[in-house]
Amino acid sequence: MHGVVYYLNFLFWTESARDHADGLLSFKQFPTCYISDVAGQVARHTNNRTRQLYFKQHDGRLCAPTPDNIKLAVNKELQMDMKWVKNLRFPLPLQGSLDGDRVAATHPITGTTERYSLYDRFHQKNQKRPEERLRSLNICPSLRTEINSSVAEQFNRELASVRYSLCQMKEAHFKQTLRVLIDLHNEKINLTFKSEMEALCNTQLSIGLHGMLGLQSAGKEDHKPTVAGTVRSSFQAELYAIDDNDKGKLEDLFSGCRKGTQIITHVSRRFPVTIKDIRSFCPPELLAQSSMVMPWLTDDAVNYRVAQLAQEHTSGSLGTYDFILWHREWTTSGGVSEQVVKCIPVSDKLFLPRIVGHLSPETGNHFILWVFDFKLRQIRVYDSLMLQCQISHGDMDLLRNVFRLSGGLEGWTVTFPSQWKQQDTVNCGVFVCSAAENEALNREVTAEALTLNQCRTLRLHHAAQILKTVNAEDFPRTAEELLKMEKKEIKLQEAEAKKPNSNSHCLAWKLRSCLFQRATGTTSVFHEKIKMYSWVQCISSVLVWRGTGRLRIFFVDATAPLN
């Protein structure tokens, strides 16, 4: 509708409806309205290829081809108002779970599963078949005012000045030149519109997902007073920028071959975080200057970061699995056990990240955050897609049962604070962690849609914050370092075993099954950087236990307590 070219196909034969159908079926999300000069042929051919499912509503016409409708259309007296047209100017895409069946999926912008094949303004009057009059844009005035149906002819006129040069080129040069021309054409449209909007807003804008403009920090904080008198600030990249030391620590963690399931650190043992979890925040590719690789965050990554923020600000935190456990007991026995309820942290503020998106709390594809404020007697809901603005009656009944020792949430209110909005389908976990940070710091923000570049900044920030309490020398060893360590230990064991009066002649030593920190009778250690270790040392005491059919030997260090 803006004249931007999204699809390009080079034809080697005469243009046909098949070429239009190839383009339509190649889109990840099928467009709601398709305007061409052969609309009837496109509708019939595409439906034949999709078992009459693509243009299912009246074969792509705006209304049913009844005699009355056809008569009104011929007399130019038929007018319709399509409800989905108003969504073309909706501030954000209607994000949701992607349906595996693209034909039956709802379009994220228009919010409908209907599809129409209509004629452009130059060809809608030339149809001989009466029912084809129902494909005219004149029937829907609201759609006709939104769409420039002659935009394709206008672009062809742009190419007319270089048509002779294009026709003289070889195939490869022709393709590459046309791609460049189209890219310049798109860039001109985007930059022109962006400049006009920046002049109106008096601030910098950026082009995000679906070609939508979003606010971008202009170098200083933009304060906007709200009705309550508070100050809300727009996104500022400077607040979340990481220095070279933090970036170097991330690069060091991702260097070499380390075990991805190795736990780096944890918060109160309930919320561990592994290398794999940190990679979900910041994959190695994201450390590059222009990379936009953004995987979906793991549950443990979100749980750890939220718990870390809660601990830093003397608040309580639960995990995504807590609500699942509550729901299991609630559905089976009608209540949550006393033992589970007493395990809930006691605090003035409690953070609970959740996974939603499916009918059952057991599964989902979207992270949200609930914040329980016991001072204000309020539940604040943070959802970057604005799909879970309220809490259902069933979930409220469950929460009242869970918090029965704290008054059962009697007299509490549910609010949906101003928060950043998500424009993609993978960064919901990042928005939850950012919402937890803004909540912990009492930082109010504007309800602006963040770009992918701003999400990249937040990912780097949260990954660096996870590692801020972890020293680089305490990172798990790489495969190369473990191999060198093993060779060093074997060499020292062999040297010690050659001594006739050595105390190291134990069964585990001879079987090469004992990893130790200090050789017997010496003060030197093998792992200088490790200060705390939990494995046993063979020094003074030996306890032997004989089991059924097998000899089991336990080596006990008498100088250190055992776990």
Q: How far is CA 114 from CA 20, 53, 226, 317, in A?
A: 18, 10, 40, 44
Judge contact between 107 and 32, C-beta under 8 A: yes
Judge contact between 320 and 304, C-beta under 8 A: no
Give me the pLDDT at residue 222, please. 38
Burial of 219 per CB tally in 10 Å (0-12, 13-18, 19+): exposed
Which among 396, 387, 326, 401 has a CA at the least distance from the CA of 358?
A: 387
DSSP 110-157: T-----EEEE-TTTTT---SGGGGGG-GGG-HHHHHH--TTHHHHHHH
Task: Give the 3-state secondary structure of residue 207.
Answer: strand
Strand 378-382 versus strand 413-415 pairing type: parallel
Task: Give the 3-state secondary structure of residue 370.
Answer: strand
- Region of 465 on the Ramachandran plot (φ > 0 left; ψ -120 to 50 alpha; else beta): alpha
Residues facing residue 542 across a β-bridge: 555
Alpha-carbon distance of 386 to 421, in angstroms, equals 8
Strand 349-357 versus strand 364-373 pairing type: antiparallel
Residues facing residue 271 across a β-bridge: 267
Alpha-carbon distance of 73 to 131, in angstroms, equals 9
Give me the pLDDT at residue 464, please. 92
Give me the pLDDT at residue 474, please. 81
Average pLDDT, the chain: 82
Task: Give the 3-state secondary structure of residue 365.
Answer: strand
Give me the pLDDT at residue 236, please. 82
Element (H, E) at 415: strand 413-415
Alpha-carbon distance of 246 to 467, in angstroms, equals 8
Handedness of CA 62, 68, 71, 75 (dihedral sign): negative
Task: Give the 3-state secondary structure of residue 142.
Answer: helix
Query: Which residue numbers in the chain have pLDDT < 70?
Result: 90-100, 207-212, 215-233, 497, 500-563
How many CB atoms within 10 Å of residue 29? Answer: 15
Q: Which residues contact 456 (CB under 8 A, 6 or more apart)?
A: 286, 292, 294
Element (H, E) at 519: none
**Helices 452-466 and 244-254, packing angle to 10 deg:** 80
Q: Which residues contact 228 (CB under 8 A, 6 or more apart)?
A: none
Give the pTM.
0.52
**Helices 17-26 and 39-49, packing angle to 10 deg:** 60
Alpha-carbon distance of 320 to 432, in angstroms, equals 12
DSSP structural state of residue 354:
E
Give me the pLDDT at residue 96, please. 53
Alpha-carbon distance of 352 to 375, in angstroms, equals 17
Give me the pLDDT at residue 545, please. 43
Strand 116-119 versus strand 33-36 pairing type: parallel
Which among 443, 434, 493, 486 has a CA at the least distance from the CA of 465?
A: 434
Name the token pair of 176: 């590459």
Map out the domains of the chain with their CATH numbers. 17-149 (no CATH), 237-474 (3.40.395.10), 479-556 (no CATH)
Give me the pLDDT at residue 504, please. 56
Q: What are the tens digits of pLDDT across the range 483-521? A: 888 888 778 777 776 776 665 555 555 555 555 555 555
Give me the pLDDT at residue 221, please. 37
